Amino acid sequence: MWVLSRTLILAGSVLALAACVTTQPRTEVKAATVYSDDGLSELTAPQNWRTRPNLGKSAAIRLADDESANYLLLNSYHPGEKDDSPLAEFAERLSASLAKRVQDGRMSAPRHFAVNGMPAVQYTISEGSGEFPLVYLSTFIDGKHAMHHLIAWTLAERYDANRAAMLEAAGSFRESAKRRAAKQRTDLTFDWPERMSSTVTLRSKSNKRGEVTQFSVRAVTTVRPLGEGQLLISAKVTDKKFGPPVKDKGKADYLQRVLQEATTDIPDYVVDRDGEFVRIENLAPYQKRIEDALVNGLPEGPREARAKAQQLVRTLMSEETLSAAVQDEWNSTVGNWADGSYVPGELYELQQVYRSAALGDQTFPMRVTQQLAGRQACRKGAAANSCVRLVQTSRVSDPAFVQAMSAFVRKTVGAEGSVDKAEVVKMVEVIADPKTLLPYRTLVKETKTFTVSAKGEAPRSSEEIEETVTTYSY
C-alpha cells in the first residue's frame, strides 16, 4: 500500500500549489498518446498533460497539468505482484484503503463498465475536510497481461470542470497491441544523514555589459536534526576573495563591504526528510545588514534619483526575496529531483511560473526542462558511474514579461523608451549521488538578454551572464 500512501503526500503538495494559481480561459488542447514506461500499455491525454518524473516513483505513467490541477498515475500489477483476488474485490480493497488515508474520506458505490473491451471498476473518493480537499477517481482495469490501477485526482472545487477530462483519460486506457521494451529508469532518493559536515568552495563570475566581477568563497556546512522529520542546514564562511581588482576604488570598496556582510552570519535553513524546503531561519538581521550595506554605499547624487535607487534596493533585497532565492537554489539542486525516477537521456518538460522581485507580484509563464543526462564519477578516484549528472533549464520570454520590463525601465530610469525583447535563461547542472542526492558539484549559469529602444535612437542589445561553480567534499 506504499504507492497509495505516497500518492496522498504528492497529491497534497502539488495541489496546494495549484490552488494558488489563477488560470486564464484556455483554447482547445489537442490530445496525444502517452506510452507507459513498462512497455505494456498506453492512453490518450491532452498534450499539456506532461510526464512528471517525481510524481509516483513506481508508476508506469505519471501525468500532471498544474494549470488545470489534473494529475494521473498508472500502476500495473503483473502476475506475481498481487494476490489472486478478482477485480471487484481488489478494486474495493485498494479504494477503501485510499479512502481511509484521506481526511474524512467518502467512497462512492462501485461503477462497473468496460474499457476497450476489458472489465473495469471505478470508485470516486472525496475528502470531506482539509485546506485543499481533493477528489480521486480510482479506476481498476482487468487486462490480458496485468491488473491496472489508474488514480486521477484534482481539487474538489475543480472536480466538476475536470471530471470529463479525468474520465476520458481513464476510458482511453488500453494494453498496447505490441509490447515495447521497458524503459530502464534511475531512481533518485533524498537520504541525507542526520549529522554531517562538508567543505564547500564557490566561485562566481559575472559579466554585465562588459564589466567583469568575480569572487570566491570557502565555507563549512553542517547538517543536524531539528525535531522530528526535519534537518537544519548551516554554513560558516572561512575564507573569501574578491577580484579581479576594480579600477574604481570607491566601487571596489563598496563591493567588498557588501561581500563582507553577505558572508557573515549566514541564515540557516530547514528541510524535511523528503527533501522539501521548509523555511529559512534568523533571516531578518541578515537582510537588514545587506540592505544597509547596499543603501549606505550608494553614490551621492540628486535626491530623487537616490531615493529611487534606495527603494529599488529594498525591493530587490526584501526578506521575501532573499527567502525565495534560498528556496529556489535548494529546489534546483536538490528539491526538484528528490524522489524522482528518470529515464536517462529523456527530456521532461514542465510549465512553471517566473517571479522577479523587481516586478512585484507579477508572474510569467516559464518553460522548464529536466534531464538525467548521464553518469560519471562523483569525484576524482571514485567509481566511474557513482554519480548522476542532472540538468535543469528554465526559460522565460513571454510577451507579458517584456511589457513588464518596459514598465519597470520607464519607472526606474524615467526615460522614454521600451524593452523590445527580454529573455532569462537559467541552466543548473548537478553532479550528485543518486542514492542520497548529496551534491558533489553544481554549475549555475544564468543569461539575461535585453533589447531596448529609446526615442530617436537605434535599438541596443545587452547581455548579462552570471556563472557559479560550487564543489562539495564530505
Q: Which CATH number characterizes residue 86's domain?
A: 3.40.1000.10
Rounded (10°) angle between helices 284-296 and 319-330: 110
Nearest residue to 89 (alpha-carbon basis) of 147, 135, 8: 147
Report phi then psi at 14, rounded to 5: -70, -30
Q: In the structure grid, which three cell numbers stand for residue 330, read together?
A: 535548494
**CA distances to 90, 92, 109, 139, 212 from 112, in Å:** 13, 12, 10, 10, 68
Considering the domain architecture, whether residues 432 and 350 belong to the same structural domain is answered as: yes
How far apart (Å, rounded) are the C-alpha atoms in residues 201 and 241?
11
How far apart (Å, rounded) are the C-alpha atoms in residues 193 and 14?
26
Nearest residue to 443 (alpha-carbon basis) of 474, 424, 464, 466: 466
How far apart (Å, rounded) are the C-alpha atoms in residues 95 and 84?
17
Where do runs of H (alpha helix) occur along 73-226?
Answer: 87-101, 159-171
* 378-384 LR contacts (CB < 8 Å, sep 24+): 378/431, 378/433, 378/440, 379/440, 379/473
Length of the chain: 474
Q: In the structure grid, which three cell numbers stand for residue 56, read together?
A: 509516483
Please indicate, yes or no, if residue 34 is contained in any of the structural domains.
yes
Please indicate, yes or no, if residue 189 is contained in any of the structural domains.
no
Last residue of a domain, one of 140, 156, 183: 183
Considering the domain architecture, whether residues 235 and 94 belong to the same structural domain is answered as: no
Nearest residue to 129 (alpha-carbon basis) of 103, 100, 151: 103
Domain count, the chain: 2
Considering the domain architecture, whether residues 281 and 349 belong to the same structural domain is answered as: yes
Q: Map residue 252 onto helix, strand or coil.
A: helix
Reading the chain (474 residues) residue by residue, the pLDDT tens digits are 334 433 343 344 444 433 333 334 444 568 999 999 999 999 999 998 999 998 988 899 999 998 889 999 999 998 888 778 899 999 999 999 999 999 999 999 999 999 999 999 999 999 988 889 999 999 999 999 999 999 999 999 999 999 999 999 999 999 999 999 999 999 999 999 999 999 999 999 999 877 888 999 999 999 999 988 999 999 999 999 987 666 677 777 888 888 898 999 999 999 999 999 999 999 999 998 888 888 877 766 667 666 776 777 777 788 888 898 999 999 999 999 999 999 999 999 988 888 887 788 889 999 999 999 999 999 999 999 999 999 999 999 999 999 998 888 777 766 677 899 999 999 999 999 999 999 999 999 999 999 988 877 888 899 999 999 999 999
State which amino acid sits at residue 150.
L
How far apart (Å, rounded) are the C-alpha atoms in residues 374 and 389?
5
Considering the domain architecture, whether residues 411 and 329 belong to the same structural domain is answered as: yes
**What pLDDT score does 361 carry?**
82
Nearest residue to 432 (alpha-carbon basis) of 390, 473, 391, 474: 390
- Contacts of residue 178, Cβ cutoff 8 Å, sequence gap at least 6: none
Query: Strand runs (DSSP E) across 377-459, as ranges?
Result: 387-396, 417-432, 439-454
Number of neighbouring beta carbons within 10 Å of residue 342? 23
Please indicate, yes or no, if residue 356 is contained in any of the structural domains.
yes
Residue 67: CA atoms inside 13 Å, Cβ hemisphere, count? 18
Considering the domain architecture, whether residues 115 and 200 belong to the same structural domain is answered as: no
Considering the domain architecture, whether residues 234 and 353 belong to the same structural domain is answered as: yes
How far apart (Å, rounded) are the C-alpha atoms in residues 442 and 50?
26
Please indicate, yes or no, if residue 191 is contained in any of the structural domains.
no
Beta bridge partners of 45: 32
Residue ranges making up the domain that contains 413: 196-473
Residue 410: CA atoms inside 13 Å, Cβ hemisphere, count? 14
Nearest residue to 137 (alpha-carbon basis) of 125, 121, 147: 125
Considering the domain architecture, whether residues 399 and 316 belong to the same structural domain is answered as: yes
**What pLDDT score does 414 carry?**
62
Last residue of a domain, one of 183, 209, 243: 183
Buried b / exposed e along 82-98 (16+ C-beta atoms within 10 A):
eeeeebeebbbebbeeb
How far apart (Å, rounded) are the C-alpha atoms in residues 141 and 139?
7
> C-alpha dihedral over 37, 39, 40, 44, to 10 degrees?
60
How far apart (Å, rounded) are the C-alpha atoms in residues 125 and 108?
6
Nearest residue to 142 (alpha-carbon basis) of 88, 61, 80: 88
pTM across the whole model: 0.86
In this structure, are residues 12 and 114 in contact, taking their beta carbons and an 8 Å threshold?
A: no
Considering the domain architecture, whether residues 203 and 175 belong to the same structural domain is answered as: no
Please indicate, yes or no, if residue 190 is contained in any of the structural domains.
no
How far apart (Å, rounded) are the C-alpha atoms in residues 267 and 278?
14
In this structure, are residues 69 and 26 in contact, taking their beta carbons and an 8 Å threshold?
A: no
Distance in angstroms between the alpha carbons of the first and the last residue of the chain: 36
In this structure, are residues 230 and 250 in contact, taking their beta carbons and an 8 Å threshold?
A: no
Considering the domain architecture, whether residues 123 and 233 belong to the same structural domain is answered as: no
Please indicate, yes or no, if residue 188 is contained in any of the structural domains.
no
Please indicate, yes or no, if residue 31 is contained in any of the structural domains.
yes
Considering the domain architecture, whether residues 245 and 298 belong to the same structural domain is answered as: yes
**What pLDDT score does 301 carry?**
66
In this structure, are residues 277 and 327 in contact, taking their beta carbons and an 8 Å threshold?
A: yes
Considering the domain architecture, whether residues 200 and 343 belong to the same structural domain is answered as: yes
Last residue of a domain, one of 131, 161, 183: 183
Considering the domain architecture, whether residues 402 and 339 belong to the same structural domain is answered as: yes
Please indicate, yes or no, if residue 465 is contained in any of the structural domains.
yes
